Amino acid sequence: MVAAHTDVLVDVDDALASDEKQAVQAARTFRDVHVTPVADGIEVRRETAISTIRLASKYGLLGLQVGRTHGGSGLSTVAAARVYEEVAEGCFAHAFSLEVHNNIANLVSRRASQEAQDRWLPRLLSGDAIAAFCMTEPTAGSDAAAIQCKADRAGKDWVLNGEKAWVTNAAGADLFAVWAQTDAAAGWRGIAAFLVDREAEGLTVTDPYQLMGGHAMGTAGILLRDCRVPADDLISAPGEAFKVAMQGITSARIFVSAQCCGILKAGLERAIGYVSERKAFGQLVGSFQGLQWELVNVATQREAARLLAYRAAAAADKNLSATLEAAQAKKFATAAAVSGLVTCMQVMGARGFLIDSTIGRHLAAAKMAEYLDGTSEIQNVVIARSLFGGALD
Ligand SMILES: Cc1cc2nc3c(=O)[nH]c(=O)nc-3n(C[C@H](O)[C@H](O)[C@H](O)COP(=O)(O)OP(=O)(O)OC[C@H]3O[C@@H](n4cnc5c(N)ncnc54)[C@H](O)[C@@H]3O)c2cc1C
């Protein structure tokens, strides 16, 4: 795709430090060597990307936001979002899987006890251990404060009982960050967060879901039956754990927005390449102005999505509350990705509907993105809260 002038005028990469630019370049190489060539096959065979995510350590892509003193890359939110955008251009599911792992590594470096950090952080940074985030349950998704997985005190330890659903990376994860309720009467204030080893007695990973797409993420449920967790593995106490999760979800929404920009770029390039060669009625189909304008609209939507995504990332890097910006960005970018990829598929005629056009894989991922880290309706709830303030309370 020819570089748009808007990329020059608002070039996110210009503002990156040199090590951050290197990380973005490393993400491109990782994508071109290990992600794009295998992504279609992994999807068709319904395999997970876990072994590829482990390889990301060789490119310095594990622990992107873990501080340098802890052995991570210490990247800004903007730079991390650029990395995920680049990887998503090859495969959204690989990018999301990597992002979830990195978000938990970041959490461990900031919140875990020294003993738990020593035990897990080197493994998370080397790719020896892969991490997963467990909030959603079969009966509680959007209303995360309503989770029912129980954490009861047993001496100094905790005992977890319950079920988690829709856990990205679950199929191959070694470490699960589990949010559980310690006191149902306290509502969100009773929720705490724990690190649970896959090998812990009482933890079972269920079969991965059969999905419309995104199998590379290895999404599955977990069952916790009298699963004993040592006191050292409490990573966030009641009263703070729910807020910690919501802060993490704000970053995740920014990253998902950037990833949607990545798949839109891939779709546009594919579609433009095709209509620049395909002829109908004696001329290139790309020369029909009606068709050009369809793709022009997709490109404009992508530019707007990028601006919203990187504005939210910049707000996070200034330690401002980016909750509203992240919600606006995620709602816009996911919708732009769904409608934009439908257009990319349409201009390719039946060819766009073939699996090897890759548009279908990106489109399924865009739809999936409308659920990840809160649905589009929940982004509206956040935006409405800001729009109306307390006026309707
Ligand atoms: C592939 C995949 C991977 C995922 N990975 C993870 C993960 O790693 N960890 C994790 O914890 N979760 C994960 N999730 C779960 C995801 O965060 C939830 O699906 C999402 O929060 C929505 O919850 P739900 O599916 O239970 O929908 P529900 O909460 O049951 O909502 C059903 C519908 O009602 C709407 N709705 C709900 N409340 C409102 C409201 N107040 N106003 C208007 N509409 C409303 C919703 O938008 C939705 O359309 C994943 C989901 C998918 C699809």
- Say what the pLDDT of residue 32 is: 98
Which tens digit of pLDDT belongs to each residue from 51-93? 999 999 999 999 999 999 999 999 999 999 999 999 999 999 9
Domain 5-130 belongs to what topology? Butyryl-Coa Dehydrogenase, subunit A; domain 1 (1.10.540)
Whose Cα sits closest to atom 19 in ligand 1? 371
* Whether the Cβ atoms of residue 367 and residue 51 lie closer than 8 Å to each other: no
CATH number of 132-241: 2.40.110.10
pLDDT one-digit tens code per residue, 283-328: 999 999 999 999 999 999 999 999 999 999 999 999 999 999 999 9
Q: Are 183 and 140 a contacting pair, CB within 8 Å?
A: no
Query: Taking Cα atoms as reference points, which of 228, 203, 252 lies closest to residue 104?
Result: 252
Q: How far is the CA of 59 from the centre of ligand 1 (A)?
A: 32
Report how far ligand 1's centroid is from the alpha carbon of 221 (Å).
14
Over 60: is that where the pLDDT of 256 sits?
A: yes
Q: CATH 2.40.110.10: which residues of the chain?
A: 132-241
CATH 1.20.140.10 location in the chain: 248-388
Percent of the chain with pLDDT over 70: 97
Q: Is the CB of 371 under 6 A from ligand 1?
A: yes
Given this model, what pLDDT does residue 391 score?
A: 81
368 within ligand 1 shell (Cβ under 6 A) = yes
Q: Specify the CATH architecture of the domain 248-388.
A: Up-down Bundle (1.20)
This model's pTM is above 0.95: yes
Answer yes or no: is the C-beta of 221 below 6 A from any ligand 1 atom: no
Residue nearest to atom 4 of ligand 1 (CA): 166
Instruction: Compute, in degrees rounded to 10, the torsion defined by CA atoms 326, 327, 329, 333.
Output: 130
**Tens digit of each residue's pLDDT (9 = 90 or more) over 335-368:** 999 999 999 999 999 999 999 999 999 999 999 9
CA 372 / ligand 1 centre spacing (Å): 7
375 lines ligand 1 (CB under 6 A): yes
Q: What region does 182 belong to: left with phi over 0, alpha with psi -120 to 50, or beta?
A: alpha
- Give the distance (Å) from ligand 1 centre to CA of residue 369: 10
Q: Report residue 10's pLDDT band, with 50, 70 and 90 as the boundaries.
A: low
pLDDT score, position 393 = 74
| Residue 140 CA, closest ligand 1 atom number | 26
What's the CA-to-centroid distance between 259 and ligand 1, angstroms? 19
- What the block records as the tokens of 100 is 């979830």
Phi and psi for 294 in degrees, rounded to 5?
A: -60, -45
Please work out whether the CB of residue 229 comes within 6 Å of at least one atom of ligand 1.
Answer: no
Quote the CA–CA distance of 74 and 389 in Å, as a whole number.
Answer: 35
Q: What distance in angstroms lies between residue 131's CA and the mean position of ligand 1's atoms?
A: 20
- Residue 357 alpha carbon to ligand 1 centre in Å: 29
Query: Atom 42, ligand 1: which residue's CA is nearest?
Result: 377
Q: Is the CB of 167 under 6 A from ligand 1?
A: yes
